[in-house]
């Protein structure tokens, strides 16, 4: 059980965070949505989903469009507001897919993001 408690995903590359915040700025005032890919416990890439809706804050991932890819570990989206707290819709999305979820908010900088698990509980991700 101890082994199970250790988070499989423990870090994220600085470049990926920068990319997320850039994409969030570009997409503003709509929401930016993507999935996260990881290698050896570190988030190394974001993967945009074709057909993803944006603009309506309701966890609008098209789950059936997700690639069958075990390196996809969770999701990232932006909030066009000053809150990076997950909404109820976000938490229900988190519970359906993956265990590492990032939300970034205005002003989309190094301090504006937070990471959550499938329950919507905040988790620590080390920036590497």
Q: Cβ of residue 48: shortest distance to Zn ion, in angstroms?
A: 17
Q: Which residues bind Zn ion (CB under 5 A)?
A: 87, 90
- Taking the complex as a whole, the smallest distance from the CB of residue 42 to Zn ion amounts, in Å, to 23
User: Which of residues 37 and 120 has its CB atom nearest to Zn ion in the complex?
Assistant: 120
If the CB atoms of residues 27 and 87 are measured against Zn ion, the closer one turns out to be 87
45 catalytic residue (yes or no): no
Cβ nearer to Zn ion, comparing 24 with 90: 90
Q: How far is the CB of 66 from Zn ion (least distance, A)?
A: 18
Tell me the residue number closest to Zn ion, measured at CB: 90
SS3 letters across the chain: CHHHHCCCCCEECHHHHHHHHHHHHHHCCCCCEEEEEEECCEEEEEEECCCCCCCCCCCCCCHHHCCCCCCEEEEEEEECCCCCCCCHHHHHHHHHCCCEEEEEECCCCCCCEEEECCCCCEECCEEC
Q: Which residue in the list 31, 39, 124, 126 is annotated as catalytic?
A: 31
Mind telling me the catalytic residues? 31
């Amino acid at each position: 059980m101890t082994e199970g408690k250790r988070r499989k995903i423990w870090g994220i590359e600085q470049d990926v965070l920068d990319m997320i915040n850039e994409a969030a700025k570009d997409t503003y005032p709509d929401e930016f949505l993507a999935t996260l890919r990881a290698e050896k416990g570190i988030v190394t890439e974001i993967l945009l989903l074709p057909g993803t809706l944006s603009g309506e804050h309701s966890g609008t991932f098209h789950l059936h469009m997700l690639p069958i890819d075990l390196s996809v570990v969770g999701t990232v989206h932006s909030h066009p507001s000053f809150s990076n707290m997950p909404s109820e819709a976000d938490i229900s999305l988190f519970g359906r897919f993956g265990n590492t979820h990032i939300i970034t908010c205005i002003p989309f900088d190094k301090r504006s993001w937070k990471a959550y698990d499938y329950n919507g509980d905040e988790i620590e991700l080390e920036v590497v």
